[in-house]
Amino acid sequence: MEKNICKGFKAAGVVSGLKKKKAKDLGLIWSEVPANAAGVFTRNLVQAAPVILDRERLKSGRCQAVIVNSGNANCCTGKQGMEDAAAMIRFAAAALNIPESLVCAASTGVIGQPMPIHKIETAMPDLAASLSSEGLDDFARAIMTTDLVPKVLTLKGETGGRTFSITAAAKGSGMIRPDMATMLCFVCTDLEVPVDILQKTLVNSTNFSFNRITVDGDTSTNDTVLIMANGMSGAVIKTEQDRALFQAMLDEILMGMAKMMVKDGEGATKLVEIEVKGALSDNDARAVADTIAHSSLVKTALFGEDANWGRIVAAAGRAGVYADPEKIDIYFNNIMMCKNSMTCGDKAEAEAAKVLKTPEFTITIDLNSGKGKASVFTCDFSIDYVKINADYRS
Amino acid sequence: MEKNICKGFKAAGVVSGLKKKKAKDLGLIWSEVPANAAGVFTRNLVQAAPVILDRERLKSGRCQAVIVNSGNANCCTGKQGMEDAAAMIRFAAAALNIPESLVCAASTGVIGQPMPIHKIETAMPDLAASLSSEGLDDFARAIMTTDLVPKVLTLKGETGGRTFSITAAAKGSGMIRPDMATMLCFVCTDLEVPVDILQKTLVNSTNFSFNRITVDGDTSTNDTVLIMANGMSGAVIKTEQDRALFQAMLDEILMGMAKMMVKDGEGATKLVEIEVKGALSDNDARAVADTIAHSSLVKTALFGEDANWGRIVAAAGRAGVYADPEKIDIYFNNIMMCKNSMTCGDKAEAEAAKVLKTPEFTITIDLNSGKGKASVFTCDFSIDYVKINADYRS
């Protein structure tokens, strides 16, 4: 893991006491100078207080710091929740000696419980004092809920003879669904990027990455992807080629994050790409891929390492799109399991069973009815998923 | 349980060897005289061979017998599957000495495996010889897959001074979703009902019952609800009042079946009604109810007996319909847990926890934004669900 966050940024994570078990639960990212900024947020009708505040703040296109807590979602907390989110920002701004208008906030954790805001106030001086260019791992740990591993990625690029970096830290393990950002992700870059390009590129990359993964089909009230570009590397986006490079790098880094989330999905033991082709349109292909990726019966079969392609066909058939029901082919990696909607026999099944025992593979569904295609990523549905989610609050 | 099937019907169930573990797996219902008949079938794009045949046959509005197997879905079995379904009907017609055109068929079990049709042929004479007016319990056992209990219900009514009965047998435990019949259900009545009324009443009752339940959100390729009315009681539908009585009775019997399915849902420990009111329209209310009823996070919390209403709000918020996000009230039975999208405190939570420990209860979500309402039935999502479905084929 790259230890240093990109130029001009510092990060930190500390224990404030918000989590039931003593662990890092309050994180901060700060840029030495105000950065251009953009965000993508949950489309859930019910939105957490910090999400509502951030949307407003980011209209300016500027941000210098983001304060994030785990252990409490600050959602369904009414007027007091809005005041607490504003207070969280005020405490951070004061500790960093920057305007409140340049601070964003995010929260993740249990919904509907009052925020013990005094814990954040008490921990803030220590948090600000801990800021370091090597602090992103601590930050990533501080924003974890049911995640088992902290998620940090860095990529380096070059333009106009100057090198720059993009670094991201994220959390996400449950309540994941390809319907919006569906987690928290904070991206820093020392590249100089105009605000309009920053927003557009972020939306594109989010659609390419986080909007193509599922763990359990649920979206949260707190989903946030936030990017800050402080220009401290001296590298600048000037040409269309620069923009394309930035898009490709952001795609790669967010897709890397997205896959880390699915791999670390609650109780997950497998990362599976669901690739659909031969649909009448790309949208149709996506509908079929999503339906398969969300199917509890498909996902439990994956957990059981059972090449039960009948469940895949049944899920494809209820996706609400037309394809010839007698022309479906299914592959597990390169093993054809089903041709023209019929079994390829015991030998193919035995070969597919070997694929199922590996931790990462692709299931391809060829509908043989058109040229539409799409792919999404899912994980299996395990006994541990149920255990984790039956016990989450207790 | 009412032992006798209604007048003029006989039923049976035997072991043919289709199930891996030796158990009843072939069932037959026969009427002494040809009956008026109607059916409702899966909307899945991929449909099992017997479903395709039955749709054709029922255009005549007449049926005298139905042959049903478990252990093999006869789906994704191509041309051979169609021939096997036709053969199954031919064997039954021969054993009963009635025209093939008066026999329907249904199958349930693993998708995509060739049907060992010789087992059905071999078992047929024994099956026909076993027909009895007390045989519906055997029939119900023969059509079970992961069901733990056979499902049979009888209601008695009276019209024009004559009593009549409606009896139904059904199977359904997994792959249940409020999107169509989603299981097998066979209804017999000795009432005389014109075919057009029979079909219309069956569609209404299916929408009222089977289309309002979910276990895991998956629909099957074999879903069939079939009704036969042989008129042998001498009771006849003549007036609008008779028709209304028949509708009410069929609603009651199919809803009874539907609830039995959810209670017997794979791994289920609780039957929960999700009631939504205060939506902008009934359709909106239904969308919210469905989203909550399908949410893995809500269902695992129910299993954990955790009154995690935040997950209910989050699921409501992603249903894709508008309501005021700050006006949501949530009740567990009559205990208000959440008012204006905020917690009602620890005491309410302790009271709700008691409700959660009971096997049947209602969760009411009042969106306080309009007059739309709807309710559906769901179950919890348990460790056993995953175990059952990870191991189903092995």
Query: How confident is the prediction along chain B (394 residues), in pLDDT tens digits per residue?
Result: 456 789 999 999 999 999 988 999 999 999 999 999 999 888 778 889 999 999 999 999 999 999 999 999 998 898 999 999 999 999 999 999 999 999 999 999 888 889 999 999 999 999 999 999 999 999 999 999 878 889 999 999 999 899 999 999 998 875 555 443 347 889 999 999 999 999 999 999 988 888 777 655 556 778 888 999 999 999 999 999 999 999 999 999 998 988 888 888 778 889 899 999 999 999 999 999 988 988 888 888 899 888 889 889 888 988 888 899 889 999 999 999 999 988 999 999 999 999 999 999 999 999 999 999 999 888 888 888 788 777 655 4
> What's the whole-number mean pLDDT along residues A171-178?
62
Lookup: tokens for A12: 């930190």
ipTM over 0.90: no
The verdict on a CB contact (< 8 Å) between A390 and B47 is no
Lookup: tokens for A348: 């193919």
Q: Where are the alpha helices (DSSP H) in chain B?
A: 49-57, 78-96, 117-129, 136-142, 195-208, 240-263, 282-294, 296-303, 309-317, 346-356, 383-390
- Cα A321 to Cα B387: distance, rounded to the nearest angstrom: 31
User: Measuring CA to CA, which residue among A308, A110, A387, A318 is closest to residue B381?
Assistant: A387
> Whats the size of chain B, residue-wise?
394
Q: Please tell me the distance in Å from A382's CA to the nearest CA on chain B.
A: 6
- Cα A128 to Cα A141: distance, rounded to the nearest angstrom: 16
Q: At what angle do helices A296-303 and B383-390 cross, to 10 degrees?
A: 70
Q: Which residues on neighbouring strands pair with residue A187, listed in sequence order?
A: A168, A227
- Name the residue facing B318 among A44, A295, A319 (closest C-beta): A44
Lookup: tokens for A368: 């043989």
- Cα B4 to Cα B47: distance, rounded to the nearest angstrom: 33
Binding residue ranges of B:
145, 171, 182, 266, 389, 394
Q: Which of residues A252 and A209 earns the better pLDDT score?
A: A252
The verdict on a CB contact (< 8 Å) between A297 and B73 is no
- Cα A338 to Cα A322: distance, rounded to the nearest angstrom: 19
- Cα A43 to Cα A33: distance, rounded to the nearest angstrom: 31
Residue indicated by tokens 């799109």 = A321
Measured between CA atoms, the residue of chain B closest to residue A389 is B300
- Name the residue facing B175 among A114, A179, A297 (closest C-beta): A297
User: Measuring CA to CA, which residue among B381, B371, B365 is closest to residue B317?
Assistant: B365
- Cα A234 to Cα A190: distance, rounded to the nearest angstrom: 8
User: Which of A108, A154, A167, A182 is the catalytic position?
Assistant: A182
Per-residue model confidence (pLDDT) at position B178: 42
User: Is A224 a catalytic site residue?
Assistant: no
* Same fold for the pair A9-263 and A271-390: no
Binding residue ranges of B for substrate:
145, 171, 182, 266, 389, 394
Architecture of domain A9-263 in this structure? 4-Layer Sandwich (3.60)
Strand A271-279 with A224-229, pairing: unpaired
Which of A296, A356, A393 is the best residue to mutate to test the B interface, defined by the most B CB atoms within 10 Å of its own CB? A296
Residues of chain A by 3-state class (helix, strand, coil), percent to 5: 35, 30, 35
Measured between CA atoms, the residue of chain B closest to residue A81 is B342
**Residues in chain A closer than 8 A to B328 (CB atoms):** 46
Binding residue ranges of A for substrate:
145, 171, 182, 266, 389, 394
The verdict on a CB contact (< 8 Å) between A301 and B390 is yes
**Residues in chain A closer than 8 A to B306 (CB atoms):** 390-394
Q: Which residues on neighbouring strands pair with residue B250, listed in sequence order?
A: none
- Cα A35 to Cα A190: distance, rounded to the nearest angstrom: 9
What lies within 8 Å, CB to CB, of B63 at 6+ separation is B31, B34, B35, B37, B57, B102, B103, B104, B226, B228
The verdict on a CB contact (< 8 Å) between B392 and A306 is yes
Greatest CA separation for chain A: 69
> What's the whole-number mean pLDDT along residues A323-340?
93
3-state secondary structure of A38: strand
**Residues in chain B closer than 8 A to A314 (CB atoms):** 44, 46, 75, 111, 175, 218-221
Running DSSP on this structure, what letter comes out for residue A182? -
Tens-digit pLDDT profile for residues A235-253: 999 999 999 999 999 999 9
Per-residue model confidence (pLDDT) at position B252: 93
- Name the residue facing A390 among B110, B174, B301 (closest C-beta): B301
Residue A214 pLDDT > 80: no
- Distances in Å between the Cα of A1 and the Cα atoms of A134, A137, A232, B312 are 11, 9, 22, 38
User: Measuring CA to CA, which residue among B164, B248, B160 is closest to residue B201?
Assistant: B248
**Residues in chain A closer than 8 A to B316 (CB atoms):** 45-46
Q: A81 with A49: CB under 8 angstroms?
A: yes
Count of CB pairs separated by less than 8 Å, A with B: 215
User: Which of B42, B154, B159, B182 is the catalytic position?
Assistant: B182
Q: At what angle do helices A383-390 and B383-390 cross, to 10 degrees?
A: 170
The verdict on a CB contact (< 8 Å) between B310 and A76 is yes
Residue indicated by tokens 């435990």 = B173
Sequence spans of domains, chain A: 9-263, 271-390
The verdict on a CB contact (< 8 Å) between A179 and B318 is yes
> Whats the size of chain A, residue-wise?
394
- Cα B337 to Cα B380: distance, rounded to the nearest angstrom: 19
User: Measuring CA to CA, which residue among A117, A256, A105 is closest to residue A184?
Assistant: A105
B271-390: CATH topology is Ubiquitin-like (UB roll) (3.10.20)
Residue A315 pLDDT > 90: no
Per-residue model confidence (pLDDT) at position A393: 56
Residue indicated by tokens 């600000």 = A128
What average pLDDT is seen over chain A?
89
What lies within 8 Å, CB to CB, of A93 at 6+ separation is A65, A99, A100, A102, A103
The verdict on a CB contact (< 8 Å) between A342 and B111 is no
Residue A278 pLDDT > 90: yes
Lookup: tokens for B239: 């007036």
- Cα A88 to Cα A240: distance, rounded to the nearest angstrom: 39
Q: What are phi and psi of A277, to 5 degrees?
A: -135, 170
The verdict on a CB contact (< 8 Å) between A73 and B297 is no
> What's the whole-number mean pLDDT along residues A131-159?
92
What lies within 8 Å, CB to CB, of B54 at 6+ separation is B39, B41, B104, B105, B106, B224, B226
Residue A181 pLDDT > 70: no
The verdict on a CB contact (< 8 Å) between A392 and B73 is no
User: Measuring CA to CA, which residue among B53, B55, B58 is closest to residue B90?
Assistant: B53
User: Measuring CA to CA, which residue among B108, B97, B100 is closest to residue B62?
Assistant: B100
- Name the residue facing A297 among B218, B295, B316 (closest C-beta): B218
User: Measuring CA to CA, which residue among A67, A10, A59 is closest to residue A36?
Assistant: A59
The mean-pLDDT minimum among A67-71, A353-357, B199-203, B207-211 falls in B207-211
Tally Cβ neighbours within 10 Å of residue A143: 29
**Residues in chain A closer than 8 A to B218 (CB atoms):** 295-297, 311, 314-315, 318
Angle at CA of residue B89, ends A328 and B9, nearest 5°:
125
Measured between CA atoms, the residue of chain B closest to residue A110 is B310
Output the DSSP codes for B53-112. Answer: HHHHHGGG-EEEEEEEEESB---S-HHHHHHHHHHHHHHHHHHHTS-GGGEEEEEES-TT
Tally Cβ neighbours within 10 Å of residue B346: 8
Which of B51, B299, B311 is the best residue to mutate to test the A interface, defined by the most A CB atoms within 10 Å of its own CB? B311
Residue A40 pLDDT > 90: no
Q: What are phi and psi of B154, to 5 degrees?
A: -135, 140
- Name the residue facing B78 among A310, A319, A340 (closest C-beta): A340
Q: What are phi and psi of B349, to 5 degrees?
A: -65, -40
Which of A41, A42, A44, A45 is the best residue to mutate to test the B interface, defined by the most B CB atoms within 10 Å of its own CB? A45
Measured between CA atoms, the residue of chain A closest to residue B353 is A394
Amino acid, res. B246? F
Residue indicated by tokens 């929260």 = A107
The verdict on a CB contact (< 8 Å) between A294 and B217 is yes
Spatial strand order of the sheet with A360-366 comes to A342-343, A335-339, A329-332, A360-366, A271-279, A372-379
The verdict on a CB contact (< 8 Å) between B112 and A309 is yes
